[in-house]
């Protein structure tokens, strides 16, 4: 499995979730040469000749594009097409031609959610809501070990809950979406204005780990704002686990504490008591492990075994 996620991460993963290699790249992978170079580096690092790659999974922003066969593009004229098209061509086509293997696309937040729900500390929970934060405010919903995508393939996207009739026009086409005011990029901007210097995700991690009270207060307040919206999900879904994006490091734990406070305040006590809220356990590998989980939960190796044209040497592992 080769997975590319928001921010750009390429890796080689076995179907059982073992990550053989992971290579991080620039935030904008749209130049095909740069993206393909990262894929090749990941394959080389894994010590795994390309002929042993069975298929590829691409994690890209926007509505889930998962399908076993070609069909209508759910994006239409969406602004998100810029993430899906590399030099004017569908990213899946570019990767598929490069690897000469089948390629499946899934929303990147969904991959992280599936990774945490299947391979993380929440693997025993039946219903898991995973909140992605590093590149925006999104979420993925896993029920019974499988992704729940919804009719429009955007199920669980808390970032597009409406909060302000007079808010900014969102890239999705609606106005006043939640993520515009409650996101990590927005928090970093607020901190920069308040402190007169720039802040990064690494700064949040370091400050939380060091116990810097001002930053911890800001992170906990961010978590409470997020938790107020998550509380509505708890009432509707009654999930067993809510997992916070762990790529924020120590900051993830503080945000999870803020979400906990809001859920305790805004949901019936019985519901609040039944949901476990925590930082994820997989870090940046959540997307890669999620790609492997997608292959297993959707039986992709069975579906594509003959189409891939791969002949596996006796005793060789599949990736």
Question: Between the ranges 18-27, 94-103, 166-175, where is the mean pLDDT highest?
Answer: 94-103
Q: Bridge-partner residues for 244, per DSSP?
A: 131, 279
77 pLDDT more than 50:
no
Percent of the chain with pLDDT over 90: 55
Higher pLDDT, 100 or 26: 100
> DSSP strand E in 61-214: where?
85-86, 89-90, 103-107, 127-132, 138-143, 146-147
Report, as an integer, the average pLDDT of 245-260: 96
Predicted pLDDT of residue 169: 86
Q: Could you tell me whether strands 241-244 and 127-132 are parallel, antiparallel, or unpaired per DSSP bridges? A: parallel
Nearest CA to 281 out of 144, 118, 143 is that of 118
For residue 141, the model assigns a pLDDT of 94
Overall average pLDDT of the 70-87 stretch: 54
Q: Over the chain, what is the mean pLDDT? A: 84
> CA 156, 90, 94 angle in degrees (round to 5)?
120
Q: Are 177 and 131 in contact (CB under 8 A)?
A: no
- The average pLDDT across 243-256 equals 96
- Measured CA to CA, the distance from residue 159 to residue 267 in angstroms comes to 20
190-209 residues labelled b (16+ CB within 10 A) or e (exposed) = ebeeeeeeebebebbbebbe
pLDDT tens-digit readout, 277-293:
999 999 989 999 999 99
Poorest-confidence range of 79-88, 98-107, 193-202, 289-298? 79-88
Return the minimum-mean-pLDDT range out of 54-68, 115-129, 232-246.
54-68
| CB 118, CB 145: distance < 8 Å | yes
Question: What average pLDDT score do residues 5-30 get?
Answer: 80
Report the alpha-carbon distance of residue 218 to residue 182 in Å, rounded: 12
- Give me the mean pLDDT over the 8-36 stretch: 83
Q: Which residue has the higher pLDDT, 316 or 212?
A: 212
Q: What is the pLDDT of residue 311?
A: 29
Gap between the Cα atoms of 179 and 132, Å rounded: 11
pLDDT at 72: 47
pLDDT, tens digit, 9 for 90 and up, residues 45-72: 998 665 688 999 998 877 777 764 444 4
- Chain segment 256-315, per-residue pLDDT in tens: 999 999 999 999 999 999 999 999 999 989 999 999 999 999 999 875 554 433 323 223
Question: What's the rounded mean pLDDT across residues 241-246?
Answer: 96
* Beta carbons of 30 and 87 less than 8 angstroms apart: yes
| pLDDT at site 71 | 44
Would you state the pLDDT for residue 76? Answer: 47
Statement: residue 172 has pLDDT above 90: no
- What is the rounded distance in angstroms from the CA atom of residue 291 to the CA atom of residue 3? 6
Residues 183 and 161: their CA atoms lie apart, in Å, by 13
Distance CA 288, CA 305 (A): 21
Which has the closest alpha carbon to 62: 30, 84, 32, 34? 84
**Two tokens, residue 243:** 């997992």
- pLDDT for position 313: 29
pLDDT at 106 over 60: yes
Residues pairing with 85 in the sheet = 90
* Percent of the residues in the chain that have a pLDDT greater than 70, as a whole number: 83
């Amino acid at each position: 499995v080769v997975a590319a996620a928001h921010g750009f991460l390429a890796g080689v993963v076995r179907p059982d979730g073992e990550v053989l290699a992971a290579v991080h790249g620039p935030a904008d992978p749209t130049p095909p040469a740069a993206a393909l170079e990262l894929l090749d580096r990941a394959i080389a690092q894994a010590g795994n000749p390309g002929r042993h790659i069975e298929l590829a999974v691409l994690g890209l922003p926007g509505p889930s594009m998962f399908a076993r066969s070609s069909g209508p593009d759910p994006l239409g004229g969406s602004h998100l097409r810029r993430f899906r098209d590399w030099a004017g061509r569908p990213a899946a086509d570019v990767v598929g031609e490069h690897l000469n293997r089948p390629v499946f696309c899934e929303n990147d937040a969904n991959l992280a959610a599936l990774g945490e729900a299947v391979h993380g500390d929440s693997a025993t929970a039946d219903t898991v809501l995973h909140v992605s934060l590093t590149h925006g405010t999104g979420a993925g919903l896993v029920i019974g070990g499988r992704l729940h995508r919804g009719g429009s393939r955007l199920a669980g996207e808390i970032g597009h809950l409406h909060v302000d009739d007079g808010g900014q026009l969102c890239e999705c086409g609606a106005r006043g979406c939640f993520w515009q005011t409650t996101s990590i990029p927005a928090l970093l901007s607020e901190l920069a204005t308040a402190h007169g210097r720039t802040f990064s995700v690494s700064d949040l991690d370091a400050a939380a780990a060091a116990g810097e009270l001002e930053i911890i207060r800001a992170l906990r307040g961010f978590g409470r704002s997020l938790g107020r919206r998550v509380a509505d999900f708890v009432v509707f879904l009654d999930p067993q686990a809510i997992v916070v994006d762990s790529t924020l490091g120590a900051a993830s734990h503080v945000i999870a504490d803020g979400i906990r406070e809001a859920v305790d305040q805004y949901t019936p006590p019985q519901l609040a008591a039944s949901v476990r809220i925590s930082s994820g356990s997989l870090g940046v590998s959540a997307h890669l492990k999620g790609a492997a989980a997608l292959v297993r939960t959707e039986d992709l190796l069975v579906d594509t075994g003959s189409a891939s044209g791969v002949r596996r040497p006796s005793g060789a592992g599949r990736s």
